[in-house]
């Protein structure tokens, strides 16, 4: 039974290209999600009424598949968290981000009285599941790169967003004071000014509220110019973060032992202490950082939740 559980765990893990059944399972789940979403979208058209029965059957079958998959993940959770007891491993999976997402993809179907709008609204979580499965086609884990960039640049992003919010509030108060007397029905309060400032700073310009006074128009011109520059700041920060990440990956092969930043390579065997453990749980010296995981032809930029698998090559930075 333990051998069967281990095999099933290997199959249902995301993006294990070395295991053909695992790859087929990944693509099969994508197909099921696509069919389910197609049925959901098609059911909103009048032309779907003659096929209502078929659509209901499709919904039921796909939800049953989601349920069986979730049950298998619960059953094999102790393989995902080998350092925890069975009960703790189940709880860690159930309350993990993807565990909650996968539960919400089918739970509202069985409990419509608890989720009155769940039969439709909660289906959006099935789209989120596709994002997780995108890993199987990645040359290296692009989603991990995004997460790493956002974590590294979070302070700069927070500062730029704070500046945008300050500018937005200031612009809303100025516009309210300039336009309230002329357009009391549109600029009724400060919130009306915030709505105008948001649509202007973000260059959306819905046209439902706009200044008519000369002073208001001058202010709008100034805010529009400021908005173009301010909103571009977070984009520049994120772009610079991506350049840094890709440069780091590109320069990894050039690093050699004895250089200022030493590169260590670990081949992970099935009995290696790091095998089947997330990066956050492996023990490293304070000077060492996991920089990359080479998995077959893929090069993964790891984060704390990335699980190291047998036959992986782990590349570690060692600071002097």
Which CATH entry fits the domain spanning 154-250: 3.40.50.2000, 1.10.3720.10, 2.30.40.10, 1.10.287.70?
1.10.287.70
Are the beta carbons of 80 and 307 closer than 8 angstroms?
yes
**Cβ distance 268 to 314 under 8 Å?**
yes
Instruction: Please state the rounded mean pLDDT for residues 141-163.
Output: 77
Residues with Cβ < 8 Å from 198, sequence gap 6 or more?
A: 168, 204
Domain limits, CATH 3.30.70.1450, in the chain: 255-318
Residues of the chain with CATH 1.10.287.70: 154-250
**Band of pLDDT at residue 140, cut at 50, 70 and 90:** very low
Given CATH 3.90.1150.10, say whether it is the number of domain 255-318. Answer: no
Query: What are the residue ranges of CATH 1.20.120 in the chain?
Result: 2-137
Contacts of 81 (CB under 8 A, 6+ apart): 88, 89, 92, 93
Please give the model's pTM, rounded to 2 decimal places: 0.57
Q: 2-137: what fold?
A: 1.20.120
pLDDT digits 0-9 by tens, 15-65: 556 667 888 888 888 888 888 888 888 888 888 889 989 988 998 898 899
Find tokens 């007891």 and name the residue: 85
Q: Name, in order, each residue with C-beta under 8 angstroms of 260's C-beta and a sequence gap of 6 or more.
A: 320
| 319 confidence band (pLDDT: 50, 70, 90) | low
pLDDT higher than 50, residue 137:
no
Q: Among 93-97, 251-255, 296-300, which is the least confidently predicted range? A: 251-255
């Amino acid at each position: 039974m333990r051998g069967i559980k281990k095999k099933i765990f290997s199959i249902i893990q995301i993006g294990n290209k070395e295991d053909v059944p695992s790859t087929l399972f990944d693509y099969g789940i994508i197909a099921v999600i696509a069919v389910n979403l197609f049925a959901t979208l098609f059911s909103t058209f009048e032309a779907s009424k003659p096929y209502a029965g078929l659509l209901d059957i499709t919904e039921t079958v796909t939800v049953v598949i989601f349920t069986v998959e979730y049950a298998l993940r619960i059953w094999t959770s102790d393989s995902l968290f080998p350092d925890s007891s069975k009960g703790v491993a189940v709880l860690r999976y159930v309350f993990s981000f993807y565990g909650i997402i996968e539960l919400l993809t089918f739970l509202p179907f069985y409990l419509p009285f608890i989720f009155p709008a769940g039969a439709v609204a909660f289906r959006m979580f099935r789209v989120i599941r596709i994002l997780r499965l995108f890993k199987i086609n990645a040359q290296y884990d692009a989603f991990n790169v995004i997460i790493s960039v956002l974590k590294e640049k979070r302070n700069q992003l927070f500062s730029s967003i704070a500046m945008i919010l300050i500018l937005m509030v200031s612009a809303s108060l100025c516009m309210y004071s300039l336009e309230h007397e002329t357009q009391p029905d549109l600029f009724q309060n400060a919130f009306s000014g915030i709505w105008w400032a948001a649509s202007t700073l973000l260059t959306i310009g819905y046209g439902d509220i706009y200044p008519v006074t000369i002073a208001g128009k001058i202010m709008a011109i100034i805010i529009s110019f400021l908005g173009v520059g301010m909103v571009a700041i977070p984009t520049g920060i994120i772009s610079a973060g991506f350049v840094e990440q890709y440069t780091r990956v590109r320069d990894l092969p050039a690093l050699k032992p004895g250089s200022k930043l030493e590169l260590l390579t670990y081949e992970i065997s099935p009995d290696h202490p790091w095998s089947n453990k997330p990066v956050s749980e492996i023990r490293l010296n304070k000077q060492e950082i996991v920089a990359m995981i080479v998995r077959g032809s893929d090069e993964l930029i790891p984060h704390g939740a990335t699980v190291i698998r047998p036959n992986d090559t782990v590349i570690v930075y060692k600071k002097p």
